[in-house]
Structure 1
Amino acid sequence: MGPDPGLRRLALGTLLAAYPGPVPPDWAVDLLAEGLAGHTLFGTNVHDPAQLAATTAALRAGRPDVIVAIDEEGGDVTRLAHATGSPYPGNAALGAVDDPGLTRQVYAAIGAELAALGITLDLAPTVDVNTADENPVIGTRSFGADPLRVAVHSAAAVAGLQSTGVAACAKHFPGHGATVADSHHELPTVDASPAVLRERDLPPFAAVIDAGVRAIMTAHIRVPALTGDGPATFSRAVLVDLLRREYGFTGTVITDALEMKGAALAAGGVGPAAVRALAAGADLLCIGSTVDAALVERVVGEIVGALGDGRLERARVEQAAARAAALAATTGPGDGAAPAVDGLGYAAALRAVRVEGDLAGLGTPLVVQVHATSTIAEGRVPWGLAPHLAGAEQVRAVAGETDPAQLRGRAGDRPIVLVGRHLHRLPGARELVEALAATHPVAVVEMGWPGAWRPAGARAFVTTYGASHANGRAAAQLLGLA
């Protein structure tokens, strides 16, 4: 006798898979008909709006109430605009403007675009409070370092998104903002007491729960006081005692991608990670971005096996599948009150820019873009001033490998504008900037999370609070280069 088909369908109902390429393969659609909850779309699945609308229609043919999820945060994390950069600033810029009405409007515009394309779940907003300047994975994805400001904007973002019928998913519970490690690569530790979390990290989650957020995503972070040696994703103390009982969340708990090292390494693979997450109280499991039919079957097999050997109770998996199904059922056309607004994102990005010092007399400078790597969450999205420069010359430089004398020679008697991301923590960047500022008028454009460092001798320091297409245009405009 083969495995119970009812158990297979039950296990599939807790999973969000993914597939490669712009056209859903047959297995991805067939699994939906067999009970798979849905798919997450990534940049490799997105070519243009017409293709994306055809994709979501093909997925709905597999099952009408399929969950189609995407990471569309605006700013530095975009899938719709991965080829060019987002036309919307991200959370750090919206937090800097500090107009909750604008935040709601921007997220409503993003939601309207997603709804029109047939996407039902946005894995946004990031509501982490970025209290660590060195945080390598949150940074500009956060509304800021102040819990109350982050709470207000998180609630506004959820209201804007969900007004369009697209479900919001606030992340990463119980707060990824104090980490100095990236959970895509390792299991970060936040060594804080529950009292500190309640004061510093949890107010935004309380605010989005109050705003009716339909889903909350877990963090693959270790909080020893609550989670012991494992991540929050595997912790009943976090997902049940804290999130459900103390904070009263009744929606769907979604895991961050189980392929991430913060989960997979801790559990011994994606299948065992799925079992541990379900046992801890998660409802909908993101398998990851690199998924094929065989991986889905392995995860299903692991869940069914755990139901058989007592690692999982059937009632718990039924509860998870029911919450996933409830999320699928609550998404649909919104009230149509929030159409996308032309130029909204660019105007918002301009309001966010902060200038310290003096931009006068820069004329037509040499623009130097300092190379920066991207996180897995961001992906390889173009950034910088290049698409917006009307006449200025731009060169690229690698901090720590570029001789300042070379750039001085290239600049001649022109001023220099240095454009970077997280310059304060890029090896060799501080030295490069300060060496150039010793001989030339230099303006620095910081498009990442700004630290406390300001370069000695620089004429001006410009902070954009993000590196989206909108942020780049705003900086170029302000510098008179667009």
Structure 2
Amino acid sequence: MTTDDIATTGEITRLARTALSPSFPGATAPGWLLDELERGLGGVTLFALTGNVPSPESLAALTERMRGAGAPLVSIDEEGGDVTRLGGHATGSPYPGNAALGAVDDPELTRRIYRSMGAELAEVGVNLNFAPSVDVNTADDNPVIGTRSFGSDAALVARHAAAAVAGTQEAGVAACAKHFPGHGATVVDSHLTIPLVDADLALLDRRELVPFRAAIDAGARAVMTGHLNVPTVTEGLPATLSHAAITGLLRERLGYGGVIVTDALDMRGASGAIGIPEASVRALIAGADLLCLGPNEHADTLRATLAAVEAAVRDGRLSPHRLQDAADRTDALRRWLSGEAAASPDRDAGLEGARRAVRVTGALPGWNGTPPLVVEVESSGNIAVGPTPWGLHPWAPDAVRTDGTDGDADRVLDRAKGRGLVVVLRDAHRHAAQRSLTTALLTARPDTVVVEMGLPVWRPGSAVYLATYGAAAANAQAAAELLGLVPAPGGTA
């Protein structure tokens, strides 16, 4: 088909629509979305915070309704651990996240857990999971990756990236390795600005790109771009909008032939200065195939983006054959998704992994029949994690949460008189109030037990210390068992 043929047969609009993955509010597909699906809309991205996932049952009904209107790639962020959407956003995930799996370092366990998560997604009609995160987390102060990474060693991350991809796809769900070319060395959040990755190609080759090669070799059906400025590669652009990053590095250098998905284009790292429609055009020109528009980008954004893509083709900025190439790749993914896959949820794997991940320093105390006071110190989350519940309070008869302000130490010490004291932290290395309160408590009560549910970077030297490598429900239960707050397997509290 020639360019003129495409321009005169309405193919531009059809092809542009296949590249878009908008969102919508609520648990029922709105009329505009069903109409767009009937016209060939390529995908739909689901978000817990917009009410798409009140329960697995409602989600299954929703995806069935959408498939009655079209054949969308139905995507979601289900990483396990701290980033969970499938019910875990309300209760915490039954699966530990990547940091815990990296601490265990058993790729077969990682494969088993991702296969189980994939099976749960398949049961409710989700066929594209925006996971695993294969970023090598080399920056302790990384505000957005942290426990979402398998670790700071490229080889370790690579072997677990391959296992996660294999497990997900054994369940018949497409895996999406992210955030290319690697978000682990950043100290700002791409939701808010464009992070800088200060690495030349040689460093990228031996660090950031190692897990992506492993994921590609494992057959990853999708790769997600990050809105990352890597000056030696992207020339000041975010990778999502960079032809050199997507086509030059990912397609040509790494030889990747699957679907390339953008991270959400509403993020300021992608569209803050230019808007979502223009960012969409530039991402397509760069070589992206499927555009995730963002959690609050509905009918109006979809229509504005379609109009921008059509104008870019008419103006000669965007080749219609680039649109056809993108459509061909997403169609190939749909054909793969139509194959048979047999996997069942295996939630026992999640708790097993969480238990194996906990690291204990010092001798755990007994409580002599009197439950300890559990103090959870507030920590700011990030946009990717969202307001997912965390902490030990579901298993603690007496638990309080504090922000660590002046005077809290005295109030806690008074309340803990005559019994044990447990302080629960989350990424204390990033939160001065957590460190200050913990130090004050340990000064007065050296028997205080410290539980770190983020990355164990800051460790008070004198404390009995538990590191869970994540704040999922499974991680919390594993810590509660060790602390005697809940009966452990084969024993009593």
Task: Assess same fold via TM > 0.5.
Answer: yes
| Alignment RMSD | 1.4
Deviation, structure 1 residue 95 = 0.7
Show the 5 A alignment for 1:43-62.
43=48, 44-62=51-69
Aligned: 1:480 with 2:484: yes
Show the 5 A alignment for 1:253-332.
253-266=260-273, 268-332=274-338
CA contact (8 A) 1:20 1:291 kept: no
1:102 is matched with 109
Closer, same or farther in 2 for the Cα pair 1:248/1:402, shift >3 Å?
A: farther
Deviation, structure 1 residue 227 = 0.8
Aligned: 1:233 with 2:237: no
Deviation, structure 1 residue 5 = 3.5
Closer, same or farther in 2 for the Cα pair 1:373/1:438, shift >3 Å?
A: same
1:464 is matched with 468
CA–CA separation in structure 2 for the residues paired with 1:6 and 1:228:
33
Given residue 478 of structure 1, which amino acid in structure 2 is its aligned partner?
L
CA–CA separation in structure 1 for the residues paired with 2:475 and 2:333:
33
Given residue 214 of structure 2, which amino acid in structure 1 is its aligned partner?
A
CA contact (8 A) 1:438 1:457 kept: no
CA–CA separation in structure 2 for the residues paired with 1:414 and 1:96:
32
Instruction: Return the match for 2:183 from 172, 176, 179.
Output: 176
Q: Deviations over 1:66-91 (max 9, x none)?
A: 11111111111111021101100011
Closer, same or farther in 2 for the Cα pair 1:196/1:300, shift >3 Å?
A: same
CA contact (8 A) 1:73 1:123 kept: yes
* 359-368 or 125-134: bigger deviation: 359-368
Aligned: 1:394 with 2:409: no
Given residue 465 of structure 2, which amino acid in structure 1 is its aligned partner?
F
Deviation, structure 1 residue 342 = 4.1
Closer, same or farther in 2 for the Cα pair 1:402/1:23, shift >3 Å?
A: farther
1:447 is matched with 453
Deviation, structure 1 residue 400 = 3.5
Q: Deviations over 1:430-454 (max 9, x none)?
A: 1110110011121111111221x21
Describe the SS at the equivalent of 1:82.
helix
CA–CA separation in structure 1 for the residues paired with 2:327 and 2:78:
24
CA contact (8 A) 1:138 1:177 kept: yes
Instruction: Return the match for 2:212 from 205, 211, 228.
Output: 205
Q: Percent same amino acid among aligned pairs?
A: 51
Closer, same or farther in 2 for the Cα pair 1:229/1:32, shift >3 Å?
A: same
Describe the SS at the equivalent of 2:219.
coil
Closer, same or farther in 2 for the Cα pair 1:402/1:423, shift >3 Å?
A: farther
Q: Deviations over 1:113-142 (max 9, x none)?
A: 111111110110000011111111011111
2:3 is matched with none
CA–CA separation in structure 2 for the residues paired with 1:277 and 1:411:
56
Deviation, structure 1 residue 413 = 2.4
Instruction: Return the match for 2:435 from 416, 430, 438.
Output: 430
1:17 is matched with 22
CA–CA separation in structure 2 for the residues paired with 1:429 and 1:52:
38
Closer, same or farther in 2 for the Cα pair 1:342/1:169, shift >3 Å?
A: closer
CA contact (8 A) 1:163 1:334 kept: no
Aligned: 1:360 with 2:365: yes
CA–CA separation in structure 1 for the residues paired with 2:249 and 2:297:
31
Instruction: Return the match for 1:339 from 336, 341, 344.
Output: 344
Deviation, structure 1 residue 417 = 0.7
Structure 1, gaps ≥5 residues long: none
2:423 is matched with 418
Instruction: Return the match for 1:351 from 342, 349, 356.
Output: 356
Instruction: Return the match for 2:46 from 27, 41, 45.
Output: 41
Deviation, structure 1 residue 4 = 6.5
TM-score by length of 1: 0.96
Instruction: Return the match for 1:78 from 59, 84, 92.
Output: 84
CA contact (8 A) 1:115 1:333 kept: no
2:74 is matched with 68
Structure 2, gaps ≥5 residues long: 1-6, 487-493
Q: Deviations over 1:169-225 (max 9, x none)?
A: 000000000001010111110111010011111110000110110000001010011
Given residue 218 of structure 2, which amino acid in structure 1 is its aligned partner?
A
Deviation, structure 1 residue 332 = 3.3
Task: Count matched residues.
Answer: 474
Q: Deviations over 1:276-296 (max 9, x none)?
A: 101111111100110221110
Deviation, structure 1 residue 31 = 0.5
CA–CA separation in structure 2 for the residues paired with 1:455 and 1:291:
44
Closer, same or farther in 2 for the Cα pair 1:444/1:332, shift >3 Å?
A: farther
TM-score by length of 2: 0.94
CA–CA separation in structure 1 for the residues paired with 2:318 and 2:180:
23
Closer, same or farther in 2 for the Cα pair 1:4/1:406, shift >3 Å?
A: farther
Deviation, structure 1 residue 401 = 4.4
CA–CA separation in structure 2 for the residues paired with 1:23 and 1:297:
20
Deviation, structure 1 residue 12 = 0.6
Describe the SS at the equivalent of 1:45.
coil
Instruction: Return the match for 2:133 from 119, 126, 134.
Output: 126
2:4 is matched with none
Given residue 469 of structure 2, which amino acid in structure 1 is its aligned partner?
Y
CA contact (8 A) 1:400 1:429 kept: no
